[in-house]
Amino acid sequence: MSTKAVELRGVFKTYHLGPHVIPALQGVDLAVARGELLALTGPSGSGKSTILNLCGLIDSADAGEIAIDGQPVAGLDEVQRTLLRRDALGFVFQSFNLVPVMTVAENVDYPLFLAGVPAAERRDRVAAQLLAVGLQDHAAHRPDALSGGQRQRVAIARALVKRPKLVIADEPTASLDSATADQVLALMRERGHAEGAAFVIATHDARLTRRCDRTVALRDGRIE
């Protein structure tokens, strides 16, 4: 098992919009240890979302190397990328992305169901995660019955229930008030350290960067 949840070495990424060429990343080197909370900061267009998309195997680099838990991702076909994403990655979004017709417990269970985990084990792992995020009494509720902070806690539980190596978080506190944001950030830090999951978090939120283990500033596709 690698001590690095994700590593980027000399990564370049360019986007083409009509006749325009946009250099999104220009030779980025970045390594994130297991259990580490890393904040990515910088103005819009600096490369934060591109790094999230590359680490989340949603996009591919033009040049350079990317490894998830020591496994190089270059050369993997789409099925292999999908399986690695399913087994090793979790995602937390600003808009929560919960399934509205599912209960809290069903939302958290869904990644385990997709991974083919046996039902009895799924029940135990879902119950443990809901207890860890303080939502054990809301298991039968649907998302529209929850506050924004509670929905984000469900999203964190869903991301962590499959014991990922890496969690990708895109502006996870942008929709939350200060008190709720503090609670959610403390939870991410506690669960990430406890379970050895690294968090790579794109944010403009100074409340978040203060709670992360490390902050990396980006500008024009480069680490400052």
- Alpha helices per DSSP H over 89-147: 104-114, 119-132
- Alpha helices per DSSP H over 58-177: 78-88, 104-114, 119-132, 148-160
Q: What is the pLDDT of residues 147-161, one digit of tens each?
A: 999 999 999 999 999
Give 2's pLDDT tier (boundaries 50, 70, 90). Answer: confident
State pTM to two decimals.
0.90
Tell me: pLDDT of 1 over 70: no
- Residue 162 contacts residue 90 (beta carbons within 8 Å): yes
What are the percentages of helix, strand and coil residues in the chain, rounded to 5? 40, 30, 35
The CATH code belonging to domain 39-59+77-223 is 3.40.50.300
Q: What is the pLDDT of residue 128?
A: 94
Locate the domains of the chain by residue range: 39-59+77-223
Q: Coil, strand or helix: which one is 83?
A: helix
Give 112's pLDDT tier (boundaries 50, 70, 90). Answer: very high
Q: What is the pLDDT of residues 115-136, one digit of tens each?
A: 999 999 999 999 999 998 889 9
Tell me: pLDDT of 89 over 80: yes
The two beta strands, 166-170 and 198-202, are parallel
Pairwise CA distance, residues 205 & 214, whole Å: 14
The CB density around residue 213, as the number of other CB atoms within 10 Å, is: 16
The two beta strands, 198-202 and 37-41, are parallel
Q: Is the dihedral of CA 187, 190, 193, 194 positive or negative?
A: negative
